[in-house]
Each structure stands twice: as C-alpha cells, then as structure tokens.
C-alpha cells in the first residue's frame, strides 16, 4: 500500500502539467483495477482543498465536485471517508473553511457541542456553541 501525497491528486485534478497528469491518471486507474492499493489521509484532502481554493482560485462548488470525484473513486482507501464527505458538504453549504467544517463534523461525531475559538465561522452552524476563552 502507498500513501498518495496531495501533489499527485492535484496534478490529476488540475491537469496543469499534462505529462504528470497522465501519469497520475494511470496510477488511479491501476487502483480502480485493483493493481495498486492507495491510501489518502484526511490531511492530504485538506491540503488539496486549500491549494485549489487559495492557489488555483477555484470556487467551493468546483472544489466539492473534484473532491467528491476522488472520494467516489473505487478502491481508494481513505482515513475517514464519511467524515470527509460530510465535511466537504458543510464546507460548501455553510460557506466556511474546510478545516472548520471538518472540526464541526468531528465534534458532532463525538457529541461535542461547544468550542473555544475566536473564529466566528463556527457561529454559522446553529448546533455549535462558540465561546471565547
């Protein structure tokens, strides 16, 4: 099994380097065919989202589409696919940072309703109570 770094998925999604994009597509095809075991961590997905948003200036709906494409690729192994799926939905729907969305879903999964934070993005989600220290 191999861990796949964010730059591999980014080359595939952005096709900004055709030769590398083709090589990355072939790697993913080998995984789909069961010839490669590929693991993608939550942090890799977070990095991909950050780069697509901040460097490539993609809109959230375009980012969500691309991330869901990766999450739905057969035979890829994810650290926590359900958490990522819910986080990417909340990221777009609540118009908040992905890491904030990830933490909100993580809080829900662990029955945590309050957070200490100065980040007012958390106020956009009614189920979360934000407090400042």
**Nearest-CA neighbor of 89 among 75, 101, 81?**
101
Other CB atoms within a 10 A radius of the CB of residue 15 amount to: 13
The whole-angstrom separation of Cα 95 and Cα 88 is 10
Contact 61, 49 (CB under 8 A): no
Q: How many helices (H) and strands (E) does the chain have?
A: 6, 5
Asked if residue 97 belongs to a known ligand binding site, the reply is no
Asked if residue 100 belongs to a known ligand binding site, the reply is yes
94: DSSP letter: T
Q: Beta partners for 40?
A: 78
Q: Which residues are annotated as a binding site for Mg(2+)?
A: 5, 100
Q: Which residues are annotated as a binding site?
A: 5, 100
């Amino acid at each position: 099994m191999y861990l796949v770094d964010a730059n591999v998925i980014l080359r595939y999604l952005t096709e900004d380097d055709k030769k590398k994009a083709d090589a990355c597509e072939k790697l993913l095809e080998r995984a789909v065919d069961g010839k490669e075991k590929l693991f993608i961590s939550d942090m890799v997905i977070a990095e991909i989202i950050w780069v697509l948003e901040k460097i490539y200036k993609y809109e959230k709906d375009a980012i969500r589409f691309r991330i869901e494409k990766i999450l739905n690729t057969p035979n890829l192994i994810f650290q926590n696919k359900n958490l990522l799926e819910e986080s990417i939905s909340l990221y777009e729907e609540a118009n908040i940072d992905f890491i904030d969305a990830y933490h909100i879903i993580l809080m829900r999964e662990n029955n945590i309703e309050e957070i200490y934070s100065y980040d007012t993005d958390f106020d956009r989600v009614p189920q979360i109570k934000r407090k400042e220290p």
